[in-house]
Amino acid sequence: MTYLNSSDTYFVGLKVHNNLVNISKGGYANIVFQLTAPIGCLYTDSVNINNSCVVSLEMVSLSSPSKCDSGNIAVVTKTDHCGPAINTTTKANLHTWTSDTIYTVQLTNADVNTGDRREYKVALKFPGNYQHRIWANYRSSFIDIHIGDDKPRGFCYSRVNSQVRTADGYCMNANVVGDLILYWNKKYDIMVQQRTTYCRNNQTTCVCALAIRAGSNVFVIDLCKSFSYIDYLMCEDVQTLKVELIEGTQNVYKIITPSGAKVVADILQLPLYRGYMNIDIYLSAKDFEEGQGLCGTYNGDMTDDLIHQDGLSSDLQQTVDCFLRRHDSFINSWR
Ligand SMILES: [Ca+2]
């Protein structure tokens, strides 16, 4: 009689070494992995195996259907499939193949807003159309990505009823009409301007036009006149402003600037405010200590947010409610 013995379990596949990866804001980190079995290559003698016997992995996420990035993490050395490329095994290198080979995939925290999500789960996956059916669609275990929070959140807005909030969180009653600089990042040459007009029976002001400029690219939403205008005014060869309607809406635009700052323009449909906009600006790590304008100096310190265009500054009025805080000289300085 022979007893049934079982051998030690052996993991076959793509073995990830670090199941938790920490990336600082705007920084880099690696996913490190090994292959515990060779990936065979199907080829004929006439093909160039250097080109054919390579597989490009995909980086997939639990939360994002995109294979090229996952929210605000991206693979640095991208291939067609947005993951690392691995040489597969041929007759020539079969005997030198070893499971000791260490592969690394470099990730970066690609721009984006300091208030963004910081926890992601990603995995490395073989393409669905890969020639080996065993490996096609194979994916590694999920890897937890944690993005460090080394910058305070930068969130600025200009909304109906003269409401303005600076990037570091100071709110005020900006009851002033005209063309005003809401946000200006000189390093990245990005400017967000708004036009305000009287609204609600002239009791308060609302934004009726928005212009976002990055270099010589300008995107405009102008609803101040009887006919509305929403378009690019000027374009370089390379479009540096990414504009899209937020999914499921016909009236909320999202504009991503080259610094990663995201501007959301919500064209209101409410009867009292129809045709006016709420503008929200989500600043990125690259905007830190670079901002000026009504959004103030984004540096985590609210007390220096009321710096005028000429360098003078106004004191905060924190003891009264936002709608009682009038800073007309500061606001008028940003024309
Ligand atoms: Ca500040």
| CATH number of the domain where residue 127 is located | 2.60.40.10
Largest CA-CA distance found in the chain, in angstroms, rounded: 98
Q: Same structural domain for residues 134 and 231? A: no
Coil, strand or helix: which one is 171? Answer: strand
Residues 38 and 159 in one domain: no
| Number of domains, the chain | 2
CA of 305 to the centre of ligand 1 (A): 4
Rounded distance from Cα 130 to ligand 1 centre (Å): 52
Rounded to the nearest angstrom, the distance between the alpha carbon of 292 and the centre of ligand 1 is 9
Q: Which residues pair with 120 in a beta bridge?
A: 145
Are 183 and 93 contained in the same domain?
no
Note down the domain range covering 21: 14-147
143 and 161 share a domain? no
Asked whether residue 1 is assigned to any structural domain, the reply reads no
Q: Does some domain include residue 121?
A: yes
Report residue 147 as tokens.
């993005």
Q: Are 289 and 295 in contact (CB under 8 A)?
A: no
Distance 314 CA to ligand 1 centre (A): 13
The answer on 143 and 171 residing in a single domain is: no
Q: Classify residue 6: in a domain, yes or no.
A: no
Residue 2 in domain: no
Residue with token string 């605000």: 72
- What distance in angstroms lies between residue 143's CA and the mean position of ligand 1's atoms? 36
> Distance, CA 170 to ligand 1 centroid (Å)?
9
Q: How far away, in angstroms, is 319 Cα from ligand 1 center?
A: 18
Q: What are the b/e assignments for 179-212, b being 16+ CB within 10 Å?
A: ebbbbbbeebebbbbbbbeebeeeebbbbbbbbb
- Ligand 1 centre to CA of 193 (Å) is 19
Kindly give the residue spans of alpha helices, DSSP state H, lying in the chain.
Answer: 49-52, 328-333
Q: Say if 5 falls within a structural domain.
A: no
Query: Are 117 and 173 in the same domain?
Result: no
Q: What 3-state DSSP class applies to 60? A: strand
Q: Are residues 85 and 172 in the same domain?
A: no
User: Residue 26 Cα, ligand 1 centroid: separation in angstroms?
Assistant: 20
* Cα of 289 from ligand 1 centre, angstroms: 8
Residue 86 Cα to ligand 1 midpoint, Å, equals 47
Between CA 116 and CA 266 the distance in angstroms is 19
Is 86 inside any structural domain? yes
Residue 11 CA to ligand 1 center (angstroms) comes to 53
Task: Judge if 91 and 72 occupy the same domain.
Answer: yes
Q: Of 85, 117, 147, which marks where a domain is finished? A: 147
Domain check: are 162 and 127 in the same one?
no
| Residue 3 falls inside a structural domain | no
Q: How far is the CA of 318 from the centre of ligand 1 (A)?
A: 14
Same-domain check for residues 143 and 263: no
Which of the listed residues 147, 168, 183 is the one where a domain comes to its end?
147
CA distances from 103 to 21, 131, 278 (A): 15, 21, 47
pLDDT in tens, the chain (335 residues): 667 777 777 788 899 999 898 887 777 888 999 999 999 888 887 777 777 788 888 888 776 655 555 556 667 655 555 667 888 888 888 888 888 889 888 887 765 555 566 788 888 889 888 888 889 999 999 999 888 766 788 999 999 999 999 999 999 999 999 999 999 999 999 999 999 999 998 999 999 999 999 998 999 999 998 888 888 876 666 778 989 999 899 999 999 998 889 999 999 999 999 999 999 999 988 899 999 999 999 999 999 999 999 999 999 999 999 999 999 999 999 99
Looking at the structure, do residues 25 and 113 belong to the same domain, yes or no?
A: yes
Strand 20-23's sheet: what is its strand order? 20-23, 143-147, 119-125, 58-61
How close is the Cα of 299 to the center of ligand 1, in Å? 5
Query: At which of 147, 163, 192 does a domain end?
Result: 147
Cα separation, 273 vs 277, in Å, equals 8
> Cα(72) to centroid of ligand 1, in Å?
25
Residues 303 and 165: their CA atoms lie apart, in Å, by 13
Dig out the tokens for 53 from the structure.
Answer: 């016997």
- Please tell me the distance from the alpha carbon of residue 259 to that of residue 140, in angstroms, as a whole number: 33
Task: Tell me, yes or no, whether 42 and 85 share the same domain.
Answer: yes
DSSP state letter for 8:
P
> 196 lies in a domain?
yes
